[in-house]
Each structure stands twice: as C-alpha cells, then as structure tokens.
Amino acid sequence: MAKKYTKTHEWIEEGKDGKYWVGISQVAIEMLGDVVYLEKGKDEDDVVGAGDEVMVIESVKAASDIYAPVNGSIREFNEDLIAEPSSITSNDWLFKMEIADPFLNALDELSDEEI
C-alpha cells in the first residue's frame, strides 16, 4: 500500500510489521521549519478516533497537533525521533497503529497525493 494523506498533512501506510505507520508530509515539515520538540498526547494501547490528537510537534515557527488519520489503537511511538526531533524527515514514522476497520474502508477516504 502506498502512503495515503490527510488534509492535515499526516500520512499513513502499512509497515513491514503489519502495523500502520503514521508520519507527516514534506509540506508540513517545510511549513514547520526546524523541529525542536515532539510530545506524546496519548499512550500506547490508547484507542483513538480519526482526527484525535496523538502528538504535538513544535518548531521554531509554530506548534501543531498530529492527528490519527483513522480509527484504531496506538501501538508504538518512535522514541528515537522523540529524543532527536530535529532529525525528522517526511519518511520518518511518528507512531504505529492498528486500524479498527477490518476492511480498511477508512483509508479509501484519504488522498493518494500529498495535499
């Protein structure tokens, strides 16, 4: 599965481990500038709905929420990236989740292209 994008610049794709990996788009990274801080807004195993805040990302320019792109459960956070947020790229996953929709219909509502 290729990356799918939300209107709020998150992406989601199926990872090699069977979980769904979530990150932010290149457009978001460019708008933020130098990232200085990443904070968890949820815990592992928390159930979230599409659009729920999962993390906060702060840069020298702004602070922004990072939202769950679909309904599911948080399974893991990228602790290396939280420890070193300035190294973030659009290819980095921020958290992994299991999707609640067994038919993946929620993914059909997302864009195939970065917005």
- Percent of the chain scored above 90 by pLDDT? 82
As a whole number, the mean pLDDT across the chain is 93
Residue 86: its pLDDT value, please? 95
**Domain for residue 70, yes or no?**
yes
Report if residue 20 sits inside a domain: no
Quote the pTM value: 0.93
Report DSSP state, residue 70.
Answer: S
For residue 5, being part of any structural domain is answered with no
Question: Range with the lowest mean pLDDT among 1-5, 53-57, 79-83?
Answer: 1-5
Domain that holds residue 49: 25-98
- Whether residue 17 is contained in a domain is answered as no
Give me the sheet containing 72-77, strands edge to edge: 4-5, 10-14, 20-24, 95-99, 72-77, 47-48
Q: Domain for residue 69, yes or no?
A: yes
Structural domain count, the chain: 1
CATH label of the domain that carries residue 73: 2.40.50.100
Quick one: average pLDDT of 48-60?
Answer: 96
Residue 103 lies in a domain: no
